[in-house]
Amino acid sequence: MAEIDKPTREVDVPGDWTYASAPESRDIVHIRDRYGYYVGGEWLEPAETYETIAPRDEEPLAAVGQATAEDVGRAVAAARTAYADGWSSLPGSERAKYLFRIARILQERAREFAVLESLNGGKPIKESRDVDLPLAAAHFFYYAGWADKLEYAFPNRRPRPVGVAGQIIPWNFPLLMLAWKVAPALACGNTVVLKPAETTPLTALLFCDVLRQAELPDGVVNIVTGDGRTGAALVESEDVDKIAFTGSTEVGKAIQRQLAGTGKRLTLELGGKAANIVFDDAALDQAVEGIVNGIYFNQGHVCCAGSRLFVQESIYEPLVAKLERRLTTLRVGDPLDKNTDVGAINSAAQLEKIRELVASGEEEGATIYQPPCVLPEKGYWFAPTVFTNVAQSYRIAQEEIFGPVLSVLTFRTPEEAVEKANNTPYGLSAGVWTEKGSRILWMAQRLRAGVVWANTFNRFDPGSPFGGYKESGFGREGGRHGLEPYLEFEE
């Protein structure tokens, strides 16, 4: 047979695939030197301020008000006046128009908000641009749709608004958590006093500009900034009818104790220690992408992060090898660079907490792996980390680290996977990776978690309820369920 003449020409393949830097310009955002509180449609001058910084390099960004109990009282009074003066009795179709407007303006100004979110919070611009902003706008669109259909959402129950809602949000998804809280509250006819987290107030303050652009009546949304003392003052305020809190389990418990017996409504969305469970029939490369997304998305500052990876014993070695290889391709660095996968840790305090828990993992006997990466000298940084040889009793397998740190454990049977996954005080989310639909359903019925993702992780949609079991809190946000905490029913 004639030999086929194969060309032997060498192809010139580049050896170095390093990305060139692609920084997003920050010129699109104007940050003021100083911010007050947004109360009754006006900016109130604060008596005391603190500095908010950029975690990527500790650059001071602005002076922000530290609201006192008196300031909080003014905000609550403004919300009460707006509630009584017409917002609560406005037809739902009219309230919907404001929500639609807010959603549209957020879309129009998405880039500005995304840059500010990454600057003040440290998350990669591709996440704030492609996840936080589209989802925040989607929440306002979604709840705009419900505003005039509450009677249909809850037939024969005659829904009416609760009153003034005090809302306290964390620093991991500042604008998105604002949207999760403000959109359903307004759709149901409530007015709001919102306190953003101390370290990430800037997108909430820029949002006040959106409220003005949308011509939302004065006092319907009020924003007070400050540290935990401001949050505590809001919880204590007598004229608040409902508190919605997202944050740590510790503070959530304190709030619940404080509100017990007051008759005030409460929803808590607290911590998590989610299990991401991979069976031996799963598509491994896809699972690795899901694991990476589950724990390194937003530097692991995610309450539903897949921080405990359970791998079926027969695929443990190939899976860990693939995972470690994938980690070497993650780009850690400037949050404003469009190529960055893992940005800056949100604050010095959070970095300290991550370091302390990682040290405990090493001391207790787990094996640590971190890919080679050069971390910037200034700012708050932590390399993506995987722990193997982890026992369930180790602190890194029990406590919420809220950082880019994964603990890998193993299981043999589905029963064992369920038992180990549920061995936690939390119950916010879980992930299952398998090709068998029946197994997914079997697992989902047994996992004590508010959300179970199948062959994916960290998927969000405004139409889908989100919330916890056990120490992850109670109440649901998103979907039709997310309306209920903001409504009273005459039954």
SS3 3: coil
DSSP codes joined into one string, 5-36: ----PPP---S--PPPP-BPPSTT----SEE-
Tell which residue, 2, 75, 88, 5, has the closest CA to residue 36.
75
Residue 132 interacts with ligand NDP (CB under 6 A): yes or no: no
Residue 128 or residue 312: which is nearer to ligand NDP going by CB?
Answer: 128
Stretch that binds ligand NDP, among 74-82, 245-253, 416-424, 436-444 (CB under 6 A): 245-253
Binding positions for ligand NDP, 85-104, rule CB under 6 A: none
What's the rounded Cα separation, in Å, for the pair 224 and 197?
Answer: 10
Residue 131 or residue 255: which is nearer to ligand NDP going by CB?
Answer: 255
**Cα–chain center distance at 443:** 25
Residue 431 or residue 450: which is nearer to ligand NDP going by CB?
Answer: 450
> 38 pairs with which residues across the strands?
43, 223
Residue type at 178 in one-letter notation: L
What's the rounded Cα separation, in Å, for the pair 254 and 251?
Answer: 5
Which DSSP letter does residue 130 get?
I
Q: Which of 303, 304, 471, 477 is catalytic?
A: 303
* Runs of H (alpha helix) within 31-130: 69-82, 92-108, 110-121, 125-127
Residue 353 interacts with ligand NDP (CB under 6 A): yes or no: yes
Binding positions for ligand NDP, 167-196, rule CB under 6 A: 168-172, 195
What's the rounded Cα separation, in Å, for the pair 180 and 304?
Answer: 15
Residue 308 interacts with ligand NDP (CB under 6 A): yes or no: no
Q: Work out how close the CB of 176 gets to ligand NDP at its nearest, in angstroms, rounded to a whole number.
A: 11
Active site residue 269: yes
Q: Work out how close the CB of 319 gets to ligand NDP at its nearest, in angstroms, rounded to a whole number.
A: 27
Binding positions for ligand NDP, 248-307, rule CB under 6 A: 248, 251, 254-255, 270-271, 303
**Cα–chain center distance at 189:** 25
Q: Is the CB of residue 376 less than 8 Å from the CB of residue 340? A: no
Torsion-angle region of residue 479: left (phi > 0), alpha (psi -120 to 50) or beta?
left
What's the rounded Cα separation, in Å, for the pair 211 and 247?
Answer: 25
Q: Which of 24, 269, 477, 484 is catalytic?
A: 269
The residue sitting closest to ligand NDP, measured at its beta carbon, is 231
Q: Work out how close the CB of 154 gets to ligand NDP at its nearest, in angstroms, rounded to a whole number.
A: 28
CB atoms within 10 A of CB 214: 19
Residue 197 interacts with ligand NDP (CB under 6 A): yes or no: yes
Stretch that binds ligand NDP, among 243-251, 284-292, 335-343, 439-447 (CB under 6 A): 243-251
Q: Is the CB of residue 335 less than 8 Å from the CB of residue 120? A: no
Residue 120 interacts with ligand NDP (CB under 6 A): yes or no: no
Figure out which of the listed residues 57, 227, 280, 488 binds ligand NDP, where binding follows CB under 6 A.
227
Active site residue 303: yes
Residue 350 interacts with ligand NDP (CB under 6 A): yes or no: yes
Stretch that binds ligand NDP, among 98-106, 112-120, 146-154, 226-234 (CB under 6 A): 226-234
Q: Work out how close the CB of 401 gets to ligand NDP at its nearest, in angstroms, rounded to a whole number.
A: 7
Residue 119 interacts with ligand NDP (CB under 6 A): yes or no: no
Binding mask 374-413 for ligand NDP (x = CB under 6 A): --------------------------x-x-----------
The phi, psi pair for 229, rounded to 5°, reads: -65, -35
For 269, the token pair is 């969305």
Stretch that binds ligand NDP, among 56-64, 244-252, 273-281, 407-415 (CB under 6 A): 244-252
Does the CA dihedral 472-477-480-486 come out positive or negative? positive
Residue 247 interacts with ligand NDP (CB under 6 A): yes or no: yes
What's the rounded Cα separation, in Å, for the pair 373 and 490?
Answer: 59
Residue 231 interacts with ligand NDP (CB under 6 A): yes or no: yes
Interacting residues with ligand NDP (CB under 6 A): 168-172, 195, 197-198, 227-228, 231-232, 235, 246-248, 251, 254-255, 270-271, 303, 350, 353, 400, 402
| Catalytic residue annotation | 269, 303
